[in-house]
Amino acid sequence: MIKPLIDVLVYDILKMQRGVLFSEALNFFLYDTIKIFLLLIVIIFIVSFIRTFFPPEKTRAILSHKHKYTGNVLAAILGIVTPFCSCSAVPLFLGFIEAGIPLGVTFSFLVASPVINEVALVMLWGLFGWKIALIYIGSGLTIAIISGMVIGKLRVEGLIEEVNCQKPSGCAPGLGQSIKERIVLSRGYTKDIIRRIWLYVIIGIGVGAWIHGYIPGGLLVKYAGKSNWLAVPFATIIGIPLYSNAAGVIPLVSALTEKGMAMGTALAFMMAVTALSLPEFLILRRVMKLKLLIIFASVVGTGIIITGYLFNFIIR
Amino acid sequence: MKIEVLGMGCSKCSQLTANAEAAVKELNIPVAIVKATDIGTITGYGVMAIPALVIDGKVVSAGRVLTKDEIKELIVR
């Protein structure tokens, strides 16, 4: 529906020539930008609305019932629907541990929550299609579940920093909300996210459009294609400092895959961007000993690298 | 009356503090806004999402930036 409108705008109203690099890139840019923003508004609103039903207190209550084998799975799934921002990682972590939720289960939650975020999902769906978006969710969940199980087995409870709780637990805020309140809340949240990421999205798509139009196809095959075994770990490592820029990074990656970057390598890179974040590690350092943070990063990083190789092997 | 903002120095936390200050100023009541950044204090309130707002020792909101008007309403109540 959008595509013909853009064609009319670019080729008829602006009178740009078909087949010329610049007009093709402009067309690509306008189409992607409009599509992505429409998707962002709709999906973020829906996700925010669902999330009003899953405050962290509820998730904690569900997880603190003993589910020996399903705990990690449940934690990873709840990680998708529970609102989470890296600034709240510390109180959330402590709240879970205090409630007696096993460390491994808590880690499954901490991994799944940032990996499967609504912005990344929209960008993947809009730019790569629903299949890749589903693969991304599936791998994200699997990595979260397995990483949590591994960390749980390592018996690292001693690596949590002591925190002196200064008051007996107070009451959690009441969250009985009407549908109208939930809608108002979700609308506010959607606006807030769009305001924070719109510039990155436009820059990302802009650079993506430029790559799409001007970089010769196949240029990256040699460096980021399947045959280069170092590409996956390299992509994972450079993803770490790029946190919170999933919005700008994904359109870029989308363009790079067109020029020969292998799909598994691209997935590994995007997961590293969302899952392994330097600022979040700095925040978590206040409650975890450095050794635990390193274990956390290495286990998740290994999971991401394995996923990257796996999909390089499977796709195409 | 005592108003506390629980947060660990993120941008949302300072936004909430600013809104709370504006609310108090408009209501014209002599209340100081206290910023609690210590993890022990924050978890002591049983809060799992920040920023949170505490009025007279009671957590009234967690995980979102309340607007000035919402805070005014909470204070009056």
Q: Tell me, yes or no, whether A284 lies in a domain.
A: yes
Block residue for tokens 């209340």? B31
Q: Tell me, yes or no, whether A265 lies in a domain.
A: yes
Lowest mean pLDDT among A153-157, A171-175, A196-200: A171-175
Task: For residue A243, name the pLDDT band (cuts at 50, 70, 90).
Answer: low
Query: Considering just the CA atoms, what is the radius of gyration of chain A in Å?
Result: 21
To the nearest whole angstrom, how far is the Cα of B53 from the nearest Cα of chain A? 10
Q: A89-136, pLDDT tens digit by residue?
A: 888 898 898 888 999 999 999 999 888 888 888 999 999 999 999 999
* Mean pLDDT, rounded, of chain A: 86
Domain span at A194: 2-156+183-314
Q: Tell me, yes or no, whether A170 lies in a domain.
A: no
Q: Tell me, yes or no, whether A174 lies in a domain.
A: no
The answer, yes or no, to whether residue A212 has pLDDT greater than 70, is yes
Question: What pLDDT is recorded for position A305?
Answer: 96
The answer, yes or no, to whether residue A158 has pLDDT greater than 60, is yes
CB within 8 Å: A166 and B8 = no
Q: A192-211, pLDDT tens digit by residue?
A: 889 989 999 999 999 988 88
Q: How many CB pairs under 8 A join A and B?
A: 86
Task: For residue A312, name the pLDDT band (cuts at 50, 70, 90).
Answer: very high
Q: Tell me, yes or no, whether A66 lies in a domain.
A: yes
Question: What pLDDT is recorded for position A239?
Answer: 87
Distance in angstroms (rounded) separating the CA atoms of residues A3 and A14: 15
The answer, yes or no, to whether residue A149 has pLDDT greater than 90, is yes
Distant-in-sequence, close-in-space partners of B51: CB < 8 Å, separation ≥ 6 = B5, B6, B7, B10, B12, B13, B15, B16, B17, B62, B63, B64, B65
Q: Would you name the residues of B annotated as active-site residues?
A: 10, 13
Q: B3-76 belongs to which CATH class?
A: alpha beta
Distance in angstroms (rounded) separating the CA atoms of residues B55 and B59: 7
Distance in angstroms (rounded) separating the CA atoms of residues A220 and A8: 33
Q: How many domains does chain A have?
A: 1
Q: How far is CA A199 from the centre of its chain?
A: 18
Task: For residue A293, name the pLDDT band (cuts at 50, 70, 90).
Answer: very high
The answer, yes or no, to whether residue A78 has pLDDT greater than 70, is yes
- Residue A94 burial (10 A CB sphere; 0-12, 13-18, 19+): buried
CB < 8 Å to B38, chain A: 166
The answer, yes or no, to whether residue A174 has pLDDT greater than 60, is no
Of B50, B57, B64, the CB nearest to A91: B50
Question: What pLDDT is recorded for position B77?
Answer: 75
* For range A254-282, the mean pLDDT: 89
Closest to A212 (Cα-Cα) out of A79, A37, A8, A21: A21
Lowest mean pLDDT among A82-96, A124-138, A228-242: A82-96
* Residue A83 contacts B, CB cutoff 8 Å: yes
Task: For residue A165, name the pLDDT band (cuts at 50, 70, 90).
Answer: low
Question: What pLDDT is recorded for position B32?
Answer: 85
- Residue B21 burial (10 A CB sphere; 0-12, 13-18, 19+): middle
* Residue B8 contacts A, CB cutoff 8 Å: yes
Q: A22-52, pLDDT tens digit by residue?
A: 888 888 888 889 999 999 999 999 998 998 8
Question: What pLDDT is recorded for position A38?
Answer: 93
Closest to A257 (Cα-Cα) out of A247, A269, A245: A269
* For range A52-71, the mean pLDDT: 84
Decide: B3 and B53 in contact? Cβ < 8 Å.
yes
CB within 8 Å: A169 and B45 = yes
The answer, yes or no, to whether residue A2 has pLDDT greater than 50, is yes
The answer, yes or no, to whether residue A172 has pLDDT greater than 70, is no
* Mean pLDDT, rounded, of chain B: 87
Q: What is the DSSP letter of B50?
A: S
Question: What pLDDT is recorded for position A13?
Answer: 84
Residue A21 identity (one-letter amino acid): L
* For range B36-56, the mean pLDDT: 86
- Residue A82 burial (10 A CB sphere; 0-12, 13-18, 19+): buried
3-class secondary structure per residue, chain A: CHHHHHHHHHHHHCCCCCCCHHHHHHHHHHHHHHHHHHHHHHHHHHHHHHHCCCCHHHHHHHHHCCCCCCHHHHHHHHHHHCCCCHHHHHHHHHHHHHCCCCHHHHHHHHHHHHHCCHHHHHHHHHHHCHHHHHHHHHHHHHHHHHHHHHHHHCCCHHHECCCCCCCCCCCCCCCCCCHHHHHHHHHHHHHHHHHHHHHHHHHHHHHHHHHHHHCCCCCCHHHHCCCCCCHHHHHHHHHHHHCCCHHHHHHHHHHHHHCCCCHHHHHHHHHHHHHCCHHHHHHHCCCECHHHHHHHHHHHHHHHHHHHHHHHHHCC
The answer, yes or no, to whether residue A75 has pLDDT greater than 90, is yes
Question: What pLDDT is recorded for position A65?
Answer: 82
CB < 8 Å to A62, chain B: none
Question: What pLDDT is recorded for position A4?
Answer: 85
The answer, yes or no, to whether residue A9 has pLDDT greater than 50, is yes
